[in-house]
Structures are given as structure tokens and as C-alpha cells.
A and B are shown apart, each in its own frame.
Chain A
Amino acid sequence: NAGVTQTPKFQVLKTGQSMTLQCAQDMNHEYMSWYRQDPGMGLRLIHYSVGAGITDQGEVPNGYNVSRSTTEDFPLRLLSAAPSQTSVYFCASRLRDSSEAFFGQGTRLTVV
């Protein structure tokens, strides 16, 4: 099993560009989430999904879109990148609410 795979690992964007961060898991987990990690602010939930076709907002959803067309994939889209979105992004999946989360290795995004 590969676990949770995130691509790319590093990305530099110009302000206003769009891009998609990819996340895939091969553990047949129902729940998937996107977090951003900023110094001194821990992990903040951006969006999450409890199954294919179902998504919901976390605490910092503005500027990000998600979709969940399959159980395996949960891409995060930045429609118009801003410097405030410079961060490390983590995707996580879990089997159900009471189970541990498995994290990807992260995507380090810089918006200039």
C-alpha cells in the first residue's frame, strides 16, 4: 500500500495563477481532509469529505475548492493564488471518525 500520496511536493506560483494539489489514498478510507500548516498555527482544516460526492467546509475554506468524485482522490484547487496561501498543505484520510488519520508527506506551496 502506498498510503496517502500527495503531488507535487513543492510548488511556486505567481499571484493569480491557479493550480490543483493532488491527493490519493489506496486504503479505501471514507474520510479525507485537507489541512494547511503555518508556523505557530498548527493544522487548520480547509475542506473535508466523508465519502464520494460529499464535501464540506472546514475552518479556513476561502480561496479553495474541492471535489470528491471517487473514494480514492480528493484534489484541492486554488482558483487564484494569493501570497496568504503560502503554506504547507497536508492531505489526510481515515477509515471512519474514530480511527487514526493517515497523512501524506505534504506539499510546500509558495505564492509570490
Chain B
Amino acid sequence: AQSVTQPDIHITVSEGASLELRCNYSYGATPYLFWYVQSPGQGLQLLLKYFSGDTLVQGIKGFEAEFKRSQSSFNLRKPSVHWSDAAEYFCAVGAHTNAGKSTFGDGTTLTVKP
């Protein structure tokens, strides 16, 4: 079965500082990996996704993520955080053998200090 672990429930960073949110997945083959962001009271919005090819993927709002097969990780990064980045972030894994069934991590809440 596929699974996703986001080890950090809550992270606080200062505005302008760099950010890394961790995501570890479990799946037997190459998965489809996603990062979503959820602002308060809103649905989830896709930040970026990885299917194959270049292991460093660029997303919206200045985010990037790196797929590391050897570590089963797909960590999300941003060089300089803005106050508007405060939100909850979800890592998700999908696979062609589980049609329609994406598995989400429990989420990481990001607080940005002025």
C-alpha cells in the first residue's frame, strides 16, 4: 500500500528565511508525487508535481521540490518565504495501479513570523 509521511506537523520561519518541508513516501514503483497548499477556509491548490524526468521540479509561487528515490523523499523548498506563504501544505502520492486513489500526508502548517 502507498503511504505518505510528513514528519513536521508545524513549522515556523521568519519572513525572508528559507524553507524546507519534508515528505517521505512509501510505494513499490515510481510514484506520482504532488505538493498542495491550503489557505484557511479554502480547498487545496496544486503547487507542483513530479512524474518522471528531471528530479528537481519547479512550481508556482517560487516553490520547488526534489525527488530522491534513494531516500523515498520529495521535499518542498523555497529560498525566501513571504508572509502570504503561511498555510497548510500537503504532500500526496498517486500511482497508476491505484486508479483515482491518491494518498495524502497529514499536512504541515507553516507559520511565518514578521
Query: Which residues of A does B touch, CB under 8 Å?
Result: 4, 31-33, 35, 40-45, 48-50, 56, 58, 90, 92, 94, 97-98, 100-101, 103-106
Closest to B96 in A: A97
Contact with A along B71-106 (1 / 0, CB 8 A): 000000000000000000010101110111111111
Complex CA–CA separation, A43 to B101 (angstroms): 12
B100 close to A98 (CB less than 8 A) = no
Q: Nearest chain A CB to B7's CB is how many angstroms away?
A: 13
Q: Nearest chain A CB to B5's CB is how many angstroms away?
A: 10
Complex CA–CA separation, A40 to B88 (angstroms): 11
Chain A's interface: helix, strand, loop or mixed, by majority? strand
- Which residues of A have CB within 8 Å of B107? 42
- Which residues of A have CB within 8 Å of B102? 33, 45, 101
Q: Which of B16-46 contact A (CB under 8 A)?
A: 32, 34, 36, 41-46
- Which residues of B have CB within 8 Å of A50? 99-100
B90 close to A98 (CB less than 8 A) = no
Determine which of A48, A97, A103 lies in contact with B95 in the assembled complex, contact meaning CB atoms within 8 Å.
A97
Q: Nearest chain A CB to B53's CB is how many angstroms away?
A: 13
Q: Nearest chain B CB to A3's CB is how many angstroms away?
A: 9
A101 close to B44 (CB less than 8 A) = yes
Complex CA–CA separation, A35 to B34 (angstroms): 16
B100 close to A33 (CB less than 8 A) = yes
- Looking at A32, A41, A97, the one whose CB has the most chain B CB atoms below 10 A away is A97
- Which residues of B have CB within 8 Å of A4? 43
Assuming A50-B100, A92-B44, what are 18 further A-B pairs, CB within 8 angstroms?
Answer: A31-B100, A33-B100, A33-B101, A40-B9, A40-B106, A43-B44, A44-B104, A45-B102, A90-B43, A94-B100, A97-B94, A97-B95, A98-B51, A98-B96, A101-B36, A101-B46, A105-B42, A106-B42
